[in-house]
């Protein structure tokens, strides 16, 4: 039995900064309203026509992660790509990354678990490596939200939250089973699926042909919907549960955590969890203020920034935790 270890990290965000004041020019909102509810000050949006897509952003992040891992792209045995915003309805972006990086014909798996997608991807990669099937796996989380948001007052409750970007990690075989990813923990509760969702286009409700036929400018089925208060209440409970599940599995306690990297959904959620676990400001890494919620990309972007700033060091206990649409949630307990 092996463990898997994160050997390389990288991220990419578009250059285009969209501040809260910028949004106030296209919808009825303001900086104070957004910061009070979310903690977000700005986010990045791609500029149409400049070439950034979910896949290309993922490729840019992946190239950095592969270089930092000290391996060649042809050492990658498998690709896991987590996103809710693929370039195409099908095929998924995993194969597009394989093509664009010029990697040999390895397997490519797409993960559709939204905000918890990267943690799910890490868990899948970890199991493949633990079993001995693969040695180096590329895991990407990438999102392009801005093209699909309702940038009007009608959509402000959702649209002010989300940003674009990508993060990537290379997981490699680790012989020392006391280091690397110690355990991962995954859950779902589909009875709340519609509380955070984008219904159309979809075969079961409204497909593209229906939308085109109706040509209804007031049709909101193709914009994201979120029952914010309900999602918040569930998130703080599930975050706590899945973090403790991971700690208990490894006979650890909150005092053992060197760094918690939560999914960047809402700064208020992170602050609630920080207070509940008695963690100091130096033990929780947040960057939602700069990037907003980048869904599957949020944890790898934050983890990369934390590592780059020297907040992740050899021997540290690092905890990743996420909650989002589905509902799905998960955690990863890592001995760096």
Q: Which are the catalytic amino acids?
A: 115, 263, 293
Which region, left, alpha or beta, applies to residue 90 given φ > 0 means left and ψ of -120 to 50 means alpha?
beta
The H or E element containing residue 10 is strand 3-12
Rounded to 5 degrees, what are φ and ψ at 327?
A: -60, 140
The answer to whether the bond into 115 is cis (omega within 30° of 0) is: no
Nearest to 328 by CA among 181, 146, 229, 192: 192
64 CB-contact burial (10 Å; exposed 0-12 / middle 13-18 / buried 19+): middle
Q: How, if at all, do strands 165-174 and 180-188 pair?
A: unpaired
Residue 326: count of CB within 10 angstroms of its CB: 21
Q: Return the percent helix, strand and coil in the chain, to nearest 5.
A: 40, 25, 35
Read off φ and ψ for residue 244, nearest 5 degrees. -65, -35
Q: Is 13 left (phi over 0), alpha (psi -120 to 50) or beta?
A: beta
Rounded CA gap, 166 and 295, in Å? 10
Number of Cβ within a 10 Å radius of residue 211: 15
> Under DSSP, is residue 114 helix (H, G, I), strand (E, B) or coil?
helix
As a whole number of angstroms, the distance between CA 260 and CA 265 comes to: 14
By the 10 Å C-beta count (0-12 exposed, 13-18 middle, 19+ buried), 212 is classed as exposed
Structure tokens at 232: 């918040």
Find tokens 């099908």 and name the residue.
90
- The phi and psi torsions of 169 (rounded to 5 degrees) equal -140, 145
């Amino acid at each position: 039995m092996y463990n898997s270890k994160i050997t390389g990290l990288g991220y990419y965000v578009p250059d285009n900064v969209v501040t809260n004041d910028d949004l106030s020019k296209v919808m009825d909102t303001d900086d104070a309203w957004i910061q009070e509810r979310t903690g977000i000050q700005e986010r990045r949006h791609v500029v149409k026509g400049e070439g950034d897509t979910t896949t290309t952003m993922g490729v840019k992040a992946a190239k950095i992660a592969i270089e930092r891992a000290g391996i060649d792209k042809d050492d990658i045995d498998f690709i896991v790509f987590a996103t809710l915003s693929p370039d195409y309805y099908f095929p998924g972006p995993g194969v597009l990354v394989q093509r664009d990086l010029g990697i040999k014909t390895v397997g490519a798996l797409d993960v559709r678990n939204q905000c918890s997608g990267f943690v799910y991807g890490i868990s899948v990669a970890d199991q493949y490596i633990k079993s001995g099937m693969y040695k180096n796996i590329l895991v990407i989380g990438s999102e392009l939200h801005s093209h699909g948001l309702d940038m009007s007052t009608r959509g402000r409750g959702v649209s002010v939250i989300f940003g674009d970007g990508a993060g990537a990690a290379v997981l490699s075989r680790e012989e020392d089973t006391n280091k690397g990813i110690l355990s991962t923990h995954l859950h779902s509760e589909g009875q709340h699926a519609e509380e955070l969702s984008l219904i159309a286009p979809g075969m079961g409700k409204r497909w593209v042909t229906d939308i085109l036929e109706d040509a209804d400018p007031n049709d909101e089925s193709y914009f994201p919907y979120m029952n914010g208060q309900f999602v918040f209440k569930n998130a703080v409970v599930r975050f706590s549960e899945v973090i403790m599940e991971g700690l208990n599995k490894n006979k650890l306690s909150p005092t053992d955590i060197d760094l918690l990297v939560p999914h960047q959904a809402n700064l208020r959620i992170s602050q609630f969890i920080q207070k509940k676990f008695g963690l100091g400001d130096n033990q929780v890494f947040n960057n939602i203020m700069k990037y907003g919620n980048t869904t599957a990309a949020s944890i790898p972007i934050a983890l990369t920034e934390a590592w780059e700033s020297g907040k992740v060091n050899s021997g540290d206990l690092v905890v990743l935790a996420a909650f989002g649409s589905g509902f799905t949630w998960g955690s990863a307990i890592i001995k760096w």
